[in-house]
Structure 1
């Protein structure tokens, strides 16, 4: 079974909307100033494409063994059932860093995991298997705290929806 982050669709819409807004605003302002040319319109279009690429959310997938994050500049993978280290960075915009026995590293915002409990379940089961195999050297407390944070967020969502 493969879990995929569900919040990506909203992020893609936001990225597309921001790029379209940028392009529309710049072409309108340039046209009102009387300085719009084909070359300048091409430059504004290139700028809009750059905005789109910068804001495009990464695609996050997880299965029994791998957590993969595909972004505009490539993909990063980490083997979740052979983790060596789990670290957390930041307070407000927390990021979870996972490192496996092969030296692969992956940083993932906690907000992505909090928004998708199925994705978190795949990651958490990999962390559990790493702990059972004895490969997880550091980060047991970080993993436990991350699990508590995701569970608390899921409980908030259930309560707000009237299901919990």
Structure 2
């Protein structure tokens, strides 16, 4: 299968579908987000119905609130292939060239995020737990980050990468011990 162009990024080849590695937990997290939003909507409608205050306008208000919760909870779909990491959310899509990284940093804020920047100025944020839960995804990123470091483009971020590597190794060892019954 030949290379194809990613929609929205003219002229940029993307990994073939069989080369890409995807977040295996995404579908479950998306179902959980839909479930939470549906549960909130059902509870709000039930409380309004029991109290006798349910109306068309209030139903629309509760529907809007449930949709807002869905947007907030919806997970980004992360995939990686040789030289590329793509993060797709409901409202935006971010892509970085992982073989041309300039920096890898932890973001400041409530939710822990890993911020990747490439030499072309592209930026992608992702939850580091996605990498920890998906060792093949981490392997692709780590291999390309080593390529960036070898080329001299990766100026900062080796500490962040080592921290994630340690977390991935710890989780993998924990899983091996659990599966083998040694835990």
Q: Does TM, normalized by the shorter one, top 0.5?
A: yes
User: 1:75 maps to what in 2?
Assistant: 93
Offset of 1:66 from its aligned partner?
1.1
User: 1:131 maps to what in 2?
Assistant: 149
User: 1:9 maps to what in 2?
Assistant: 27
Q: Kindly tell me the number of residue pairs found equivalent between the two proteins.
A: 164
Distance 1:15 1:137 in 2: 37
Bigger relative contact order (CA 8 A; separation at least 6): 1
Residues 32-43 of structure 1 mapped to structure 2, 5 A cutoff: 32-43=50-61
Offset of 1:38 from its aligned partner?
1.9
Distance 1:106 1:60 in 2: 10
Distance 1:137 1:9 in 2: 35
String of CA shifts for 1:10-45, please: whole Å, max 9, x gaps.
211211111111111111110111111122212212
Larger mean Cα displacement after TM superposition, 145-154 or 85-94: 85-94
Asked if the contact 2:132/2:164 (under 8 Å) is kept, the reply is: no
Q: Secondary structure at the match of 1:35?
A: coil
Please give the TM-score of this superposition, normalised by the length of structure 2. 0.83
Q: Which runs of 5+ in 2 are unaligned?
A: 1-18
User: 1:103 maps to what in 2?
Assistant: 121
Q: Secondary structure at the match of 2:87?
A: strand
TM-aligned CA distance change 1:31 to 1:10, over 3 Å: same
More helix by share: 1
TM-aligned CA distance change 1:62 to 1:10, over 3 Å: same
Q: 2:46 aligns with which of 24, 28, 35?
A: 28
Larger mean Cα displacement after TM superposition, 25-34 or 40-49: 40-49
| Residue 85, structure 1, aligned to residue 103, structure 2 | yes
